[in-house]
């Protein structure tokens, strides 16, 4: 028998099981999982002795800035970073240029991104209200995994890019949508059967509080948290849950940062509603007390909050209220981040450090290795309709595999990141547990921290 790839002597890990075994791969698919020697020749043989063999890890929340801001990032570099970080699939966010508001733009982005992709990728669609109300069903049919809505933000009516400092007198602007308009978005997305995923910050409240804090002259990190408090997230999440209950929409709360959201989502789940949530490493591994050490590199929106929020997020993961952890990879240049806290943009690199940080959390006892598989592989694949093609180790599925050395130690260094941007809150973090090989559809993309293949990733449809 001729095999494409044999992975031998590893410890295979799923969300429930852990056992010794070999994987035999043919035509990009898992052909056998066995403890027996099937023999035959292979184009590639990997000895995984001492390593954990995980179903390919994924990141469901990536802003690669391609197109629009190539000085910050592009898909070639973001997917290299993903592969080095042990990821086999990423989900690209829709607010690029062109924004994924219709099938024409979706097709243009797929054509743009595919030749640069070192790993497989899925695409989000963008909701902007009335202008693309009739495009949501066609976008679903064309293969988006879900729909994103930036609650409370104004939108450029020509490019559909976010307008961060809304001026009501400006032209070519879609003003922040009123609640009734948002409710209609929930109704339309519900018809597609896909998730409606929201950036949950109350822009109206934040405008009032920001003006108040600015008048006080408090331009510290604590001042920023007063301007964008937990209440800004909590009030939007409350409204969104109510809308979801009334429209039968499948609601997903993006980048949860506040303890109150964990309780709200948990309560809705107990009532039987299909409401899910995600969080990010910067909320799990950093809190407001770290600002003195890390500085403006840790500025993200929603902002990193307090230790009690951080502890509640870990509790949410361990109680299965939070379904997945993702990066919200949002690069900016070092020059853009070099300024006053309140003036610089929010966002950092994260796609390369997502899995290593969560693997370290396993070694520190915060989660189990099975929870790692659930959070970064199985749960997202199931939630977005990719399972079992992605997110599993089953015969007949894509041979997406992440090999992990749980004992290897590593120091995260910003200058070694594979993104164009080197902005991270985790520079100098010492971790234990490192992805040492990334295998996409049977082909090794990364080995021992080095990219060893040219781009061959492809667009994945639910």
pLDDT of residue 212: 97
For the segment 402-451, what is each residue's pLDDT rounded down to a tens digit?
999 999 999 999 999 999 999 999 999 999 999 999 999 999 999 999 99
Beta bridge partners of 409: 432
pLDDT of residue 171: 87
152: pLDDT strictly greater than 90? no
pLDDT of residue 67: 84
For the segment 322-336, what is each residue's pLDDT rounded down to a tens digit?
999 999 999 999 999
- How far, in Å, CA of 196 to CA of 187, rounded? 10
- Hey, what are 326's tokens? 């993702």
Q: Which of 253, 263, 262, 340 is nearest to 296 (CA)?
A: 340
- How far, in Å, CA of 72 to CA of 1, rounded? 47
Phi, psi of 141 (to 5 degrees): -65, -25
- State CA 16 to chain mean position distance: 23
Task: With beta carbons less than 8 A apart as the criterion, state whether 101 and 126 touch.
Answer: yes
Phi, psi of 284 (to 5 degrees): -90, -30
For the segment 89-144, what is each residue's pLDDT rounded down to a tens digit?
999 999 999 999 999 999 999 999 999 999 999 999 999 999 999 999 999 999 99
pLDDT of residue 140: 98
1: pLDDT strictly greater than 90? no
Phi, psi of 288 (to 5 degrees): -55, -25
- State CA 212 to chain mean position distance: 33
pLDDT of residue 165: 74
């Amino acid at each position: 028998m001729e095999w494409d790839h044999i992975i031998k002597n590893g410890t295979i890990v799923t969300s429930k099981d852990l056992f010794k075994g070999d994987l035999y791969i043919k035509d990009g698919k898992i052909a056998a999982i066995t403890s027996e020697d099937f023999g035959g020749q292979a184009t590639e043989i990997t000895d995984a002795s001492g390593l954990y063999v995980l179903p390919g890890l994924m990141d469901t929340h990536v802003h690669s800035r391609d197109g629009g801001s190539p000085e910050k990032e592009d898909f070639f570099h973001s997917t290299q970073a993903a592969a080095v970080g042990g990821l086999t699939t990423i989900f690209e966010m829709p607010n690029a240029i062109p924004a994924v508001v219709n099938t024409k733009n979706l097709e243009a982005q797929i054509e743009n991104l595919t030749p640069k992709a070192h790993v497989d990728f899925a695409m989000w669609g963008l909701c902007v209200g009335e202008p693309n109300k009739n495009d949501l069903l066609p976008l679903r049919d064309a293969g988006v995994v879900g729909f994103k809505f930036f609650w409370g933000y104004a939108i450029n009516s020509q490019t559909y890019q976010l307008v961060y400092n809304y001026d009501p007198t400006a032209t070519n602007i879609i003003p922040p949508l009123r609640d009734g308009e948002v409710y209609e978005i929930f109704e339309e997305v519900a018809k597609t059967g896909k998730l409606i995923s929201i950036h949950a910050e109350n822009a109206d409240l934040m405008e009032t509080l920001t003006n108040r804090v600015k008048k006080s002259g408090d331009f510290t990190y604590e001042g920023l948290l007063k301007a964008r408090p937990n209440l800004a997230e909590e009030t939007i999440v409350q409204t969104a849950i109510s809308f979801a209950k009334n429209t039968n929409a499948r609601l997903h709360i993006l980048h949860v940062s506040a303890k109150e959201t964990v309780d709200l989502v948990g309560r809705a789940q107990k009532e039987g509603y299909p409401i899910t949530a995600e969080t990010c490493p910067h909320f799990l591994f950093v809190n407001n007390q770290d600002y003195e050490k890390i500085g403006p590199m840790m500025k993200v929106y929603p902002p990193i909050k307090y230790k009690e929020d951080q502890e509640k997020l870990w509790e949410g993961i361990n109680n299965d209220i939070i379904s997945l952890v993702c990066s919200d990879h949002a690069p900016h240049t070092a020059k853009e981040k070099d300024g006053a806290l309140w003036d610089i943009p929010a966002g950092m690199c994260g796609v390369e450090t997502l899995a290593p940080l969560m693997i370290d959390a396993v070694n520190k006892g915060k989660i189990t290795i099975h929870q790692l598989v659930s959070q970064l592989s199985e749960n997202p694949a199931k939630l977005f309709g990719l399972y079992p093609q992605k997110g599993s180790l089953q015969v007949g599925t894509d041979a997406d595999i992440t090999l992990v050395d749980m004992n290897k130690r590593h120091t995260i260094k910003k200058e070694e990141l594979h993104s164009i941007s080197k902005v991270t809150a985790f520079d100098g973090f010492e971790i234990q547990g490192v992805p040492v090989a990334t295998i996409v559809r049977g082909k090794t993309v990364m080995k021992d921290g080095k990219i060893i293949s040219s781009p061959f990733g492809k667009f994945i449809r639910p």
